[in-house]
Structure 1
Amino acid sequence: MSASDILLRQKRNWVIETFTFDEGYSGPYPLYLGRINIATDIRLTEIHGPGVDEEPLNLFKIDNKTAEIWVMQPVDREIHDQFKLIFQAFKKEKGDINAKIGIDIDIIDTNDNEPKFNNHVYEVTIEEAPSQGTELVNVTATDRDSTEKNRKFSFSIESVSPTPQNFEFVINEEPDSGNGTISFKGCLNHEKAQKYTLIVKATDHGQPKSLSSSTTVIINIEDGNKHLPVFTKQKGEASVKEGLRGVLISRLQVTDEDTRGTKAWKAKYKIQGDTNNNFRIDTDPETNEGLVYVQKILDYEEDPLKNIIISAENEIPYAQGVTGTKEMRLSTYHLTVNIEDVNEPPLFDPSNKTITAYEDVALGYYLETLIAKDPDVNGANQIRYTIGEDPAGFVTVDSNSGKITTSKSLDRESQLVKDGLYVIKIYATDNGEPSQTGTATLSIKIVDVNDNAPSLDKSIIDMCQTDKISSVSVTALDPDAEPYSGPFSFKLLGDVKDKWRIDPENGHSFKLVNEHKATIMIFGQHELQLEVSDRQGKTAVHSLSVSVCKCSKTPKPDCRLKKHTGNPNELKTIYVFIFMLCLIFTLGFLLLTFLMSCKPERIPFPNDSAGQYLMISNSEGPGSD
């Protein structure tokens, strides 16, 4: 049995051969690659796989009769490093398909890719005086070739513009990383060159010909600090009034020969000798001047004169050792600050005080003396004391001595006393120019005394008369604190037996109980006298006005309402009576009007002088007799 018969009978996929193709082949095409080694009675058909009927299409051509393979166009190994093709195989005589045959086509790598930098341009800015060997910038490149010999590369600096003087740029490689670090040897000087342009090259190690690419590296040299700031003057004076804060007292000017606006030019000031931290100094961003401020108030009486020393440097260190620099000391300025005396308000010591007093002290009772002193050096000002705040008007103060006494009895139960504490303010005003006023606070803890008799929350009571015992709740009140308040003792005075009683007789509240039987009508007004005593025996007698009535359906007694509105039948009778009075009055008025309108009729006589007539008169006037 032949090998091909065994192959066909096993009915398996076999990779029977491997071909190779160099991606560096430049033509002509098609290129004969070889013949598949199969028996002559085996025929190939239905060829499948990348390069034939899959992407990339039509890369290979295979003669199914001769089993010859042709390459039709170039191949890039970095895209396709191998092709696997599968054929259907059958005997030419029988024509039946019995097996699949596979072949591999390996693509051989050629050095066809140069190393490429990640950036076309690298740019960095550095100060002109970094330490020698300082890393300036990193560059990175990659090579797409597959084999190690073709993808390895090296960095080199091809050119530098302008040409460095007394220093050089170097590039160091990190093995197998594709990174290169550029540094320098020597000293950089901004005055000689503000910018250097480097051409950096990456060259691979491929054969037969190495490939390379380049990138541009721009290194900007920032002006270093070759000159320290120098004060235009070495000393000066300033004046400020005591008690002020946040005021500008001086502007200090400096000169600096470094490039304006750079960190090497910008001044940074420091104050020495300011033990109390009274001053601060800021830098004017436009003029570079030092602005001296008072940040903590100054006291003329404590020290009328302050001497401080101010030094100036730059935001970046002085580049000592760089070409064009020399060893220098920091420039300093001596500032004398004169503190001007002003009239300050009198000071109480202490300015807050707490005392204790009973609330029943007599008028004019001595409480405390608060004394203020003039803090000014001469101390010649006269001080007068006044009441600043005394909302209840409890106290008075002697204008000359500051002696505080009561102007009336203290009342712990006043709404102006909070939790037993009453607070007043005393003013001390001098006669300086201008006058100034100091303030002290006196807190008076008022001790409670039993100065309030108990009272009741109600004195007028409505009570419903029912077939059962009736009662009404009443609560006793006392503004005094413990132990001068409740629980209280209650006692009804007068003839109340079997009529009224108190339940309970001790406590904060009680019930006034009506013990009259329902068969006995007690409707109407009742005046009772109730004696109430607190725990210390302070007693008060209160009147209770009790109205008893037969209540309506409402659960709340309404005796006084009934008293005002009256009984409906009674109201009806009253209305009828009022109507009759109005009717009688109206009829009488109409009759009177009628009678007043009736006058006597007079009959005229003929005007005949020859006759005699009898004169009739029905009236008699005064003096007619």
Structure 2
Amino acid sequence: MLCFFFLVYYLSSAACSELLSRHRRSWIIDSFTIEEGHPGPFPYVLGKITIDRDYQVRFDLYGEGMDEEPKGVLTIDKESGTLYVNRAVDYEEKTVLKLRFEAMNTDSSIDTKLGVEIGISDINDNPPRFQRDLFEISVDEDATQGSHVQTMVAYDKDERGTPNSTFHYEIKSVSPNHPDTEFTIDSQSGTMSFKGCLDHEVAEMFTVVVEAKDHGDVVSLSSSSTVIIHVQDGNNHLPAISGQTGSGKVKEHEIGTSPLRLHMTDKDTPNSAAWRAKYTIQGDEGAHFKIETDPDTNDGILTVVKPLDFEEEALRELTISVENEAPYFSCKVKERPPSGLWKVETSKGDVPPPDTVKVSIEVEDVNDPPVFSVSVKEVALEENAPIGTWVEKVTAVDPDSRDFVYKVGSDPAGWVTVDPQTGDITTVGTPDRESLHVSDGFYTILLHALDDGVPPMTGTATLNIHVTDQNDNVPQPTVDFVDVCVSDGPSSINISAFDLDDHPYAGPFTFELLGDVKGKWKLNPSHGYTAGLVKEPGVYSGPHTVDVKISDMQGQFAVYNLSVTVCDCSVTPNCRDPRSTATTAAPGALAIVFASLLLIMCLLLMAVFMTCRKEFAPMPPSDSSGDTLLPSNIENPGTDCKVVVPDDIVAWFTEETHSDPSNWGGQHHGIKHSNFSKEMEQNFIYEHLVLDMSHLYNENWNQTSWRSLRANGHHHTHQREEASTMNFHAALQALLHQRLSSLQGKEADLLDYEPHVYAEEGDFDVLSELENIILPDKDSYQKALNNLGPKFKQLASIRKPPHIQN
């Protein structure tokens, strides 16, 4: 608590002491100003800081000009307070130096602080400066005096609002100095203009020097800028036509030719708008001509764009004038007063007439073609009109009054002729509306009128003959054969017809069946463009011929023999495509064959497996008359696997062969039957009978069939000693008989099978001839086949085997 009391007393005493001492202090600081660009010598005394005090203090100075930029300008004597300037300063760099003065006690404590600003006085050390030293501009020659040319702008860096930064503009020189042109500039704004007239032909360019000068008291500074003024040429000279070249002649009906070329002169700048010419044609009724400007020479080129007619006008008079693209003007100085604009005279709005010239174009006569009075004409002519029928008459006129004749130019079918003198058209052929040369009922011919000029000229007219229809064609079916499917009920197929004639000589048609068709065929419907041919259930499969009568609306008719094939569509989708039948049946037949072979192989393997033994046991002899095979021990040992043949087959075969040895009289496979051994006999039985009998087993044979075969007309009491002459013929004959019997029994099941129909036999009274086939030596055989006619291809399709027909 005692310490806090002393601290408060000390601080309050110090504060009171400071307040009392401040009343005793007195600062005396002069107003300091540094002159810009002072020449020296340096350092020089700027001033002194004086203070009335009872104790010693020291002075310090900080800020711009001391330890801040611009550094080193000022220094201060710390004891006396004298200020020194060490170097020159630039007003444009710094206008005021801001510093801080400090008074220091002897104990280095700060007595007080004070901010001080030292001003820098400006001098006229900067002239006015233009934005650029050189300006280049263009002015039109027809510009009116007083028009703005250019605005000059300058700037002075000296102190604003003082004479050092105040300046004015003035023109120092103009080159060339033309008496009719004077350039001026506003001294305050710098706006340039001119008085009088500009003339490109007198002065294409002016060089003007403009000066900006300030108003400094001690010294006046200035700078200049150059302005180059290009005078753009205007149209102050009229073009003049100087001459013409060319024949001045043009042939009638000819276009694109240039009979005339006009030449002109102009004092304005070439290739400028003031120099380029524009030509105008007057007196060109019908717009037959045009005139264009040659871009290189400025000549006017006259060209024919529409054919001229000598008979209408043989000589054409034209007036052609010329002017420039840019409008014409003129300017002339009348008076030059000392102030204000000059008095000038201009011709804008009062343009003199353009230069004109009259030209004559001669039209040369050429041979004109005859002209038909009607170029396209339409007439009517009935088809089948008799030869010599008058069709129409055409007339033509030749503009040159030359002789001419009429001719037929185009007559594709050769139906007409034209009288060369009168133009009457008559028929020389029979018109047929159904001809290929008739389109939409019209037959077109071209007629010519050919004169005798040099060269001869031809006029053309078109005659469209409308060939009217007659009922000269009977209806025709679209096809001459149809296919009908077999069914339990009636089945039908559509029959369509067409007629080359037009309405009302065509459809809808009436269809009628002729001949004995009751219970077999009928029509439903029987009227229209398509009829339905209905097959009754009683019609058998196979080819049939139906007579169909087809009548048009006028009763014209024809009878046609329609080939109808009836087949089972479930087996043969296309009755006339034998390959499809073969293709359908082939998989079933192959399946039966493969099944039979598989069954035979299984039976043989079972037989081999059951008869294989490890040791050979010879067959014991027996005298029994009921035995089937003769006893024999001629086989050599060593074979432990034998094929066993059923006993009833072997016994039957042995008995049959023993019954009649005389039936064996020949050779089989090159071996005499009378010399067969027992082993060869068994092998032959297996190869030629067992395999066949296995196949017969597949055809539902059984043991009863075998027994009946043995008992059918054969005797069992023959001697067994005749077994060496086996009778194979009887056995084979019996097997073939049974096989044929089985096939005949199955034929009744094949109800839908019919022999293949290659083609209908047709009418015996109509004999068709086949084409002659010539095979050139150079051509290939295949190429010759491809080029054969339709008759030969029809024969080839009939004779082609079923498996390769399409």
Would you say same fold, with TM above 0.5?
yes
Judged with a 3 Å threshold, the aligned counterparts in structure 2 of structure 1 residues 58 and 287 are, in CA distance, closer, same or farther, namely: closer
Q: Does 2:185 align with 1:164? A: no
Which of 351, 358, 364 is residue 340 of structure 1 equivalent to?
Answer: 364
CA drift of 1:453 comes to: 2.2
Q: Is the 8 A contact 1:235 1:335 kept in 2?
A: no
Which of 167, 185, 206 is residue 196 of structure 1 equivalent to?
Answer: 206
Q: Does 2:396 align with 1:375? A: no
Q: Does 2:509 align with 1:488? A: yes
Name whichever structure is richer in strand by fraction.
1
Counting only pairs closer than 5 Å after superposition, residues 254-403 of structure 1 correspond to structure 2 as 254-258=264-268, 260-322=270-332, 330-376=354-400, 379=401, 381-403=402-424
Counting only pairs closer than 5 Å after superposition, residues 511-522 of structure 1 correspond to structure 2 as 511-517=532-538, 522=540
Q: Does 2:479 align with 1:479? A: no
CA drift of 1:75 comes to: 10
Judged with a 3 Å threshold, the aligned counterparts in structure 2 of structure 1 residues 471 and 174 are, in CA distance, closer, same or farther, namely: farther
Structure-2 separation of matches of 1:387 and 1:441: 10
In the alignment, structure 1 segments of 5+ residues that lack a partner are 6-21, 33-56, 62-71, 83-106, 569-625
Q: Is the 8 A contact 2:488 2:537 kept in 1?
A: no
Structure-2 separation of matches of 1:157 and 1:201: 6
Judged with a 3 Å threshold, the aligned counterparts in structure 2 of structure 1 residues 169 and 564 are, in CA distance, closer, same or farther, namely: same
Higher mean C-alpha displacement, 211-220 vs 247-256: 211-220
Q: Is the 8 A contact 1:115 1:211 kept in 2?
A: no
Judged with a 3 Å threshold, the aligned counterparts in structure 2 of structure 1 residues 145 and 275 are, in CA distance, closer, same or farther, namely: farther
Question: Residue 133 of structure 1 aligns with which residue?
Answer: 146
Which of 549, 553, 558 is residue 540 of structure 1 equivalent to?
Answer: 558
Judged with a 3 Å threshold, the aligned counterparts in structure 2 of structure 1 residues 395 and 234 are, in CA distance, closer, same or farther, namely: closer
Question: Residue 631 of structure 2 aligns with which residue?
Answer: none
CA drift of 1:445 comes to: 3.2
Structure-2 separation of matches of 1:424 and 1:245: 31
Structure-1 separation of matches of 2:424 and 2:432: 21
Q: Is the 8 A contact 2:379 2:466 kept in 1?
A: yes
Q: Is the 8 A contact 1:487 1:508 kept in 2?
A: yes
CA drift of 1:390 comes to: 2.6
CA drift of 1:220 comes to: 2.1
CA drift of 1:421 comes to: 3.1
Judged with a 3 Å threshold, the aligned counterparts in structure 2 of structure 1 residues 524 and 198 are, in CA distance, closer, same or farther, namely: same
CA drift of 1:265 comes to: 4.4
Structure-2 separation of matches of 1:205 and 1:392: 112
Question: Residue 218 of structure 1 aligns with which residue?
Answer: 228
**Counterpart residue identity of residue 185, structure 1:** K
Q: Does 2:270 align with 1:249? A: no
**Counterpart residue identity of residue 162, structure 1:** P
Question: Residue 443 of structure 1 aligns with which residue?
Answer: 464
CA drift of 1:548 comes to: 2.3
> What whole-Å deviation, never above 9, does each CA across 1:239-272 have from its counterpart, x for those lacking one?
2211111111122333445555555444433222
Q: Is the 8 A contact 1:236 1:335 kept in 2?
A: no
Higher mean C-alpha displacement, 334-343 vs 352-361: 352-361
Q: Is the 8 A contact 1:368 1:405 kept in 2?
A: yes
CA drift of 1:515 comes to: 0.9
Judged with a 3 Å threshold, the aligned counterparts in structure 2 of structure 1 residues 218 and 354 are, in CA distance, closer, same or farther, namely: farther
Counting only pairs closer than 5 Å after superposition, residues 171-210 of structure 1 correspond to structure 2 as 171=185, 182-201=192-211
Higher mean C-alpha displacement, 140-149 vs 477-486: 140-149
Higher mean C-alpha displacement, 210-219 vs 275-284: 210-219
CA drift of 1:334 comes to: 2.2
Q: Is the 8 A contact 2:475 2:506 kept in 1?
A: yes
Structure-2 separation of matches of 1:153 and 1:529: 128
TM-score by length of 1: 0.65
Structure-2 separation of matches of 1:513 and 1:461: 12
TM-score by length of 2: 0.51
CA drift of 1:561 comes to: 6.6
**Secondary structure in 1 matching 2:248:** strand
CA drift of 1:398 comes to: 2.0
Structure-1 separation of matches of 2:95 and 2:418: 108
Q: Provide the alpha-carbon RMSD of the alignment.
A: 5.3
**Counterpart residue identity of residue 145, structure 2:** Q
Q: Is the 8 A contact 1:462 1:546 kept in 2?
A: yes
Larger Rg: 2
Q: Is the 8 A contact 1:428 1:439 kept in 2?
A: yes
Structure-2 separation of matches of 1:152 and 1:480: 113
Judged with a 3 Å threshold, the aligned counterparts in structure 2 of structure 1 residues 126 and 325 are, in CA distance, closer, same or farther, namely: closer
Identity of matched residues, %: 41
**Counterpart residue identity of residue 207, structure 2:** T
Higher mean C-alpha displacement, 186-195 vs 285-294: 285-294
CA drift of 1:329 comes to: 5.2
**Secondary structure in 2 matching 1:245:** coil
Q: Is the 8 A contact 1:241 1:341 kept in 2?
A: yes
**Counterpart residue identity of residue 165, structure 1:** P
**Secondary structure in 1 matching 2:280:** strand
Judged with a 3 Å threshold, the aligned counterparts in structure 2 of structure 1 residues 562 and 198 are, in CA distance, closer, same or farther, namely: closer
Judged with a 3 Å threshold, the aligned counterparts in structure 2 of structure 1 residues 553 and 193 are, in CA distance, closer, same or farther, namely: same
Question: Residue 425 of structure 1 aligns with which residue?
Answer: 446
Question: Residue 426 of structure 2 aligns with which residue?
Answer: 405
Q: Is the 8 A contact 1:139 1:181 kept in 2?
A: yes
**Counterpart residue identity of residue 259, structure 2:** I
Structure-2 separation of matches of 1:425 and 1:277: 33
Question: Residue 64 of structure 2 aligns with which residue?
Answer: none
Which of 558, 573, 589 is residue 576 of structure 2 equivalent to?
Answer: 558
Question: Residue 87 of structure 1 aligns with which residue?
Answer: none
**Counterpart residue identity of residue 530, structure 1:** V
> What whole-Å deviation, never above 9, does each CA across 1:117-167 have from its counterpart, x for those lacking one?
37842221533x4333344x4447486989996999876544322223132
CA drift of 1:108 comes to: 13
**Secondary structure in 2 matching 1:414:** coil
Judged with a 3 Å threshold, the aligned counterparts in structure 2 of structure 1 residues 23 and 391 are, in CA distance, closer, same or farther, namely: farther
**Secondary structure in 1 matching 2:443:** strand
CA drift of 1:397 comes to: 2.0
Question: Residue 19 of structure 1 aligns with which residue?
Answer: none
Structure-1 separation of matches of 2:575 and 2:156: 107
**Counterpart residue identity of residue 176, structure 2:** P
Structure-2 separation of matches of 1:511 and 1:23: 133
Structure-2 separation of matches of 1:557 and 1:142: 113
Structure-1 separation of matches of 2:158 and 2:470: 106
Q: Is the 8 A contact 2:372 2:395 kept in 1?
A: yes
Structure-2 separation of matches of 1:423 and 1:109: 110
Question: Residue 100 of structure 1 aligns with which residue?
Answer: none
Question: Residue 93 of structure 1 aligns with which residue?
Answer: none
Bigger relative CO (Cα 8 Å, ≥ 6 apart): 1
**Secondary structure in 2 matching 1:248:** coil
Structure-2 separation of matches of 1:291 and 1:116: 54
Figure out how many residues of one structure are paired with residues of the other and give that number. Answer: 504
Question: Residue 527 of structure 1 aligns with which residue?
Answer: 545
Judged with a 3 Å threshold, the aligned counterparts in structure 2 of structure 1 residues 235 and 511 are, in CA distance, closer, same or farther, namely: closer
Structure-1 separation of matches of 2:251 and 2:478: 64
Q: Is the 8 A contact 1:429 1:436 kept in 2?
A: yes
> What whole-Å deviation, never above 9, does each CA across 1:547-586 have from its counterpart, x for those lacking one?
2234564533336779999x99xxxxxxxxxxxxxxxxxx
CA drift of 1:116 comes to: 4.5
> What whole-Å deviation, never above 9, does each CA across 1:450-498 have from its counterpart, x for those lacking one?
4332211101223333444333222221233344333322211121112
